[in-house]
Amino acid sequence: MTSFVASEKDVNNFLSSPSMNDQTGITFAYATDPAVLAKLVPAPLKVVAPVVVGYVVNMGKPTFGAPYLEQTLYAMVSYKDKMVGAYPFELLLSGAGAEAGQVAGRDGASMPKKLADKITLSRTDQTATATVDRHGKRLLDLKWEAGDINEPSFMKQFAGMMQVDQEMQSNSFFLDYKLDQHDDGTNHFVNTKLVSSQMKSVIDSAEPGKLSLTLNSTEDDPLGELAVLKPLGAAWVHFDSQVMFNTVQLEDVDPAKAAPYLITGHYDRGIVNSAATTF
């Protein structure tokens, strides 16, 4: 029987080598407004293309809990022309293991993760659909159809993101932080820094196809701010394994400059406006 005082074995196993294996779902890309995208990415990161990449996948065998569904939108960015990777704006989760996934990502790696009301993902033969609902509104409605992608000139870049049957290494950038409560009870972001989480992934299947995507917003989740100007393509993919193997501390960031980029992805409006309440 477990106890409120964990065993040494449990302490040693706590979020040890987090892996997200047996992932199945849809990855996609679309063109968006470059000026808007640039405003949403914090310095010193720089957007490398006016493209948003995302996915809706079933995390079939995470090492930190039960399976769950996850959705994200991210920009491809560079750090001082030395490192290229993803800058996720949001990650929404639902399903049996969603809370564990949120804790592992947000508390363990400063990822902007929140719980959705519901995420669906289904495939029938050569078509697939995905939806994301939160706070009673459909934030994402996606359709995939096997075959050619929407924009043939993007195929080379798209294929480079999904190299099958070989280990790929990738970077994701996050603003790491700590919340500090002062003597008067107010809370502030402290110890803010830019980090890169490095992952090793193996994709064992990828089927390209056309993308149809609609995004909407709520006060808590402004996905529609990343407007879909032109769908580029999508693919039905399966990740055999994905392991977070290293975190690189890149540089300290002024908390005042980091704070505007931290709140929306990690928290809802009620945390800054007590009138934003739902019963």
* Number of domains the chain contains: 1
pLDDT of the residue at 159: 86
Would residue 192 count as lying in a domain?
A: no
pLDDT of the residue at 239: 93
pLDDT of the residue at 123: 97
* Side-chain half-sphere CA neighbours of 74 within 13 A: 24
CATH number, domain containing residue 223: 2.40.400.10
State pLDDT tens for residues 189-230.
999 999 999 999 999 999 999 999 999 999 999 999 999 999
User: Domain residues for 34?
Assistant: 20-166+204-242
What integer is the mean pLDDT of 236-247?
92
Would residue 105 count as lying in a domain?
A: yes
State pLDDT tens for residues 104-130.
889 888 999 999 999 999 999 999 999
State pLDDT tens for residues 167-192.
999 999 999 999 999 899 888 999 99
Residue 1 has pLDDT above 80, yes or no: no
Q: How far apart are CA 201 and CA 162, in angstroms?
A: 10
Would residue 199 count as lying in a domain?
A: no
Closest CA to 88 of 130, 49, 40, 129: 40
pLDDT of the residue at 2: 86
Residue 162 has pLDDT above 90, yes or no: no
Would residue 13 count as lying in a domain?
A: no
Would residue 51 count as lying in a domain?
A: yes
pLDDT of the residue at 63: 86
- Average pLDDT value for the chain: 94
pLDDT of the residue at 17: 75
pLDDT of the residue at 252: 97
Does residue 93 contact residue 56 with C-beta atoms inside 8 Å? no
* Secondary structure string (H, E, C) spanning 34-96: HHHHHHCCCCCEEEEEEEEEEEEEEEEEECCCCCEEEEEEEEEEEECCCEEEEEEEEEEEECC
pLDDT of the residue at 250: 97
pLDDT of the residue at 131: 98
pLDDT of the residue at 108: 84
Would residue 157 count as lying in a domain?
A: yes
What integer is the mean pLDDT of 262-278?
89
pTM for the structure as a whole: 0.95
Would residue 61 count as lying in a domain?
A: yes
Residue 132 has pLDDT above 80, yes or no: yes
Would residue 76 count as lying in a domain?
A: yes
